[in-house]
């Protein structure tokens, strides 16, 4: 029994006793079940397992603390109306916003933050980490840390562009289909059906094999693949608004289709559309990451998370986790966006459960 193990159990048991005394039932149940779980893992895995539990709990607590303070910070700098909304945000949503904020900073200021250029060869291949290179070098001797920072700009940037293109074309087609109806609606609907009936990864691989792999092609192909989702949602949301009396009134006033879309329908359908934008971004981001991982997405020497995983994958068989960091960066951003979207969906009561 080392001092660490004794300290570990003392803190847990003291914490659960304290919580039970002050009748914090939910927290007590959580902390005490953690104590029971650590008894079992401690017997099986020894001090090493307890240490990983402690690290995990500490990370969780740190994340919660950061999210809470970031939320309070946002509430203080936001206007009163926005602040009122922000107060209802759960901790997960605050965490999501913090992560998105961090990525945005990393992406925008990449050349200032990164110690080396994204294609700069500074040492030998797979050199281990030292004072100069935080995470070591990749297969060509470039600094992995700098490339991860630049990846925030390239991978997220291209996904954002594709999402915006998909969103604008899909939403425009959906709004027009709802307003015009008739053959245009039918044609667009069937077109969306066909595109959605081909698996997205397969469709993009087919297109990339034909048009070659460059950024423009990727953005356009991915936008075409994901615009039908936006189209269907917009069509459904706008379809409910078009039948409202005030739209009827505007039509009788003699307003054109464009006016109806811009002034009557769009302002009333923003909430679900904004949430859909977040979800759409996740799909697009994961698809492009997958393509890059297959070596068919963003091409070298541009730093990109998906291709970085592929290039350094050999390190994994030596037990090195560096190649997993870019993959984790992808997962973290997607989770963060999902957390924020969950909150927004709940707020706009689209998914409110009893």
Residues near another protein (CB under 8 A): 26, 29-30, 92, 193-194, 197-203, 205-211, 282, 286, 289-290, 293-296, 306, 309-310, 313, 316-319, 321, 323-324, 327-328, 330-331, 334-335, 338-339, 342, 353-354
Which of residues 21 and 318 has its CB atom nearest to another protein in the complex? 318
Beta bridge partners of 137: 143
- Shortest gap between Cβ of 289 and another protein (angstroms)? 5
Which of residues 249 and 321 has its CB atom nearest to another protein in the complex? 321
% helix / strand / coil in the chain, to the nearest 5?
A: 80, 0, 20
Which of residues 232 and 264 has its CB atom nearest to another protein in the complex? 232
Nearest Cα residue to 329 out of 112, 87, 150, 84? 150
- Shortest gap between Cβ of 314 and another protein (angstroms)? 11
Nearest Cα residue to 295 out of 276, 311, 312, 279? 311
**Rounded to an integer, what distance in angstroms lies between the CA atom of residue 297 and that of residue 306?**
8
For the chain, counts of helices (H) and of strands (E): 14, 0
Give backbone dihedrals phi and psi of 142, rounded to 5 degrees, phi first.
-95, 150
Judge contact between 333 and 324, C-beta under 8 A: no
Beta bridge partners of 142: 121
- Shortest gap between Cβ of 272 and another protein (angstroms)? 17
**Rounded to an integer, what distance in angstroms lies between the CA atom of residue 335 and that of residue 276?**
15
- Shortest gap between Cβ of 194 and another protein (angstroms)? 5
Residue whose pair of structure tokens reads 């464009």 in the numeric block: 258
Which of residues 145 and 339 has its CB atom nearest to another protein in the complex? 339
- Shortest gap between Cβ of 286 and another protein (angstroms)? 6
- Shortest gap between Cβ of 127 and another protein (angstroms)? 21
Which of residues 272 and 290 has its CB atom nearest to another protein in the complex? 290
Which of residues 167 and 293 has its CB atom nearest to another protein in the complex? 293
Residue 5: how many other CB atoms lie within 10 Å: 15
Which of residues 25 and 85 has its CB atom nearest to another protein in the complex? 25
Which of residues 122 and 294 has its CB atom nearest to another protein in the complex? 294
Nearest Cα residue to 262 out of 231, 238, 230? 238
**Rounded to an integer, what distance in angstroms lies between the CA atom of residue 130 and that of residue 147?**
16
- Shortest gap between Cβ of 151 and another protein (angstroms)? 13
Which value, in Å, is the radius of gyration of the alpha carbons in the chain?
25
Instruction: Quote the tokens at residue 317.
Output: 């068989």
Instruction: Quote the tokens at residue 192.
Output: 């969306």
- DSSP state for residue 143 in the 8-state scheme: B
Which of residues 50 and 282 has its CB atom nearest to another protein in the complex? 282
Instruction: Quote the tokens at residue 68.
Output: 């809470």
Residue 222: how many other CB atoms lie within 10 Å: 29
**Rounded to an integer, what distance in angstroms lies between the CA atom of residue 18 and that of residue 266?**
53
- Shortest gap between Cβ of 26 and another protein (angstroms)? 7
- Shortest gap between Cβ of 330 and another protein (angstroms)? 5
């Amino acid at each position: 029994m080392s001092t660490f193990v004794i300290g570990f159990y003392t803190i847990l048991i003291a914490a659960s006793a304290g919580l039970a005394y002050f009748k914090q039932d939910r927290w007590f149940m959580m902390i005490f079940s953690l104590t029971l779980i650590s008894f079992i893992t401690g017997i099986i895995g020894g001090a090493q397992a307890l240490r990983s539990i402690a690290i995990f709990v500490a990370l969780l607590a740190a994340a919660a603390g950061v999210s809470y303070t970031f939320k309070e910070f946002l509430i203080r700098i936001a206007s009163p109306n926005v602040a009122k909304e922000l107060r209802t945000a759960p901790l997960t949503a605050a965490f999501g916003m913090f992560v998105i904020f961090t990525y945005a900073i990393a992406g925008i200021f990449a050349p200032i933050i990164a110690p080396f250029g994204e294609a700069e060869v500074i040492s030998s291949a797979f050199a281990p980490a030292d004072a100069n290179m935080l995470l070591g070098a990749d297969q060509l001797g470039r600094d992995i840390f700098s490339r991860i920072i630049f990846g925030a700009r390239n991978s997220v940037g291209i996904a954002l562009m594709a999402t915006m293109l998909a969103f604008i074309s899909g939403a425009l087609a959906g709004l027009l289909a709802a307003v015009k109806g008739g053959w245009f609606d039918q044609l667009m609907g069937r077109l969306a059906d066909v595109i959605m009936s081909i698996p997205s990864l397969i469709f993009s691989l087919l297109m990339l094999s034909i048009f070659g792999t460059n950024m423009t092609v990727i953005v356009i192909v991915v936008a075409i693949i994901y615009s039908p989702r936006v189209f269907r949602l917009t069509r459904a949301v706008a379809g409910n608004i078009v039948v409202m009396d005030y739209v009827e009134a505007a039509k009788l006033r003699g307003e054109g289709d464009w006016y109806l879309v811009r002034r009557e329908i769009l302002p009333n359908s923003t909430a679900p559309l904004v949430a859909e934008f977040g979800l759409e971004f996740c799909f697009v981001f994961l698809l492009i990451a997958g393509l890059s991982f297959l070596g068919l997405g963003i091409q070298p020497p541009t730093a990109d998370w998906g291709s970085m995983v592929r290039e350094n994958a050999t390190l994994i068989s030596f037990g090195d986790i560096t190649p997993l960091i870019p993959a984790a960066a992808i997962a973290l951003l997607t989770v963060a966006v999902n957390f924020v979207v969950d909150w927004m969906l709940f707020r706009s009561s689209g998914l409110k459960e009893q």
